[in-house]
Amino acid sequence: MTGFASEYKGRLLCAIETIPLDRVEQAIDWLKQARARGRAIFVCGNGGSAATASHFACDMVKGASYNRPARFRIQALTDSIATLTAYSNDVSYDCVFVEQLKNFAQPGDVLLAISGSGNSPNVLRAVEYANSAGLQTIGLTGRDGGQLGRLAQLEINVADPHMGRIEDGHMIIAHMLCYYFMDLEQPAGASPLQPTGASPLQPTGASPLQPTGTSTILPTPSE
């Protein structure tokens, strides 16, 4: 045993401590304002950051919007494989996000750009355009922030050199953003996740494997 898991956990906890919570709170306020004004939110990134972008958009579209009077208009620019591959094949991978923004973005919208290095060309082009088009821009970065840290109007940096821990930190930030709305703005009259004392898997008093009084022997299938 090398103790790698323990070391990784320790370094991850240190990385999490670098997250600037005041900037996370400011991002929450921007998202809240965007929702109140009916503005759109766009998210982009590459590789693991693309997965974080899609995950965040999913949480906001469903978890932070379902059964609520005000809903988020949010789109992950990473999710249309046809669009991404068309632009990559016919034009350039550098333009896959900015060209989508040219279709959909309006002044007052928000762009959340994610790049561990802070130097992904397609992310930088999207932020440059968003700044020029009157959007609010948020950059999730790592290491020294790279060019994205200087370009975004609001940078939230995970100051760690390790890409895995940077991406871990970005997912935590994404959950801070969406769970503000999911946890603190539960719909009126909504029941908690489960009644106090009840099992999350079966009714109180029931066997964890089968209903009370039933046999565990399954019938023999007909041949």
The percent of residues in the chain predicted with pLDDT above 90, rounded, is 82
Q: What pLDDT, in 10s, does the model give residues 137-179?
A: 999 999 999 999 999 999 999 999 999 999 999 999 999 999 9
* Packing angle, helices 21-36 and 163-184, rounded to 10: 50
In this predicted structure, what is the pLDDT of residue 206?
44
Which of helix, strand or coil describes residue 19?
coil
The pLDDT of residue 111 is above 50: yes
Q: How many CB atoms lie within 10 A of CB 64?
A: 23
Q: What pLDDT, in 10s, does the model give residues 36-64?
A: 999 999 999 999 999 999 999 999 999 99
- As to burial, measured by CB atoms within 10 angstroms (0-12 exposed, 13-18 middle, 19+ buried), residue 75 is buried
103 CB-near residues (< 8 Å, 6+ apart)? none
Which of helix, strand or coil describes residue 141?
strand
Domains by residue range for the chain, with CATH: 21-184 (3.40.50.10490)
Q: How many CB atoms lie within 10 A of CB 208?
A: 7
